[in-house]
Amino acid sequence: QVQLVESGGGLVQAGGSLRLSCAVSGSILNIKTMAWYRQPPGQQRELVAIITSDEGTTYADSVKGRFTISRDNAKKAAYLQMNSLKPEDTAVYYCNTDWILVPDQARGAKELFDLWGQGTQVTVSS
Span 111-116, average pLDDT: 96
Query: pLDDT class for 1, splitting at 50, 70, 90?
Result: confident
Average model confidence (pLDDT) for the chain? 96
pLDDT at position 17: 98
Q: Are 71 and 55 in contact (CB under 8 A)?
A: yes
Q: Please list, in sequence order, all residues whose beta carbon lies within 8 angstroms of the beta carbon of residue 106, skipping any fewer than 6 positions away.
A: none
pLDDT digits (tens, 9 = 90+) for 27-53: 999 999 999 999 999 999 999 999 999
Q: Are 48 and 116 in contact (CB under 8 A)?
A: no
SS3 of residue 63 by DSSP: helix
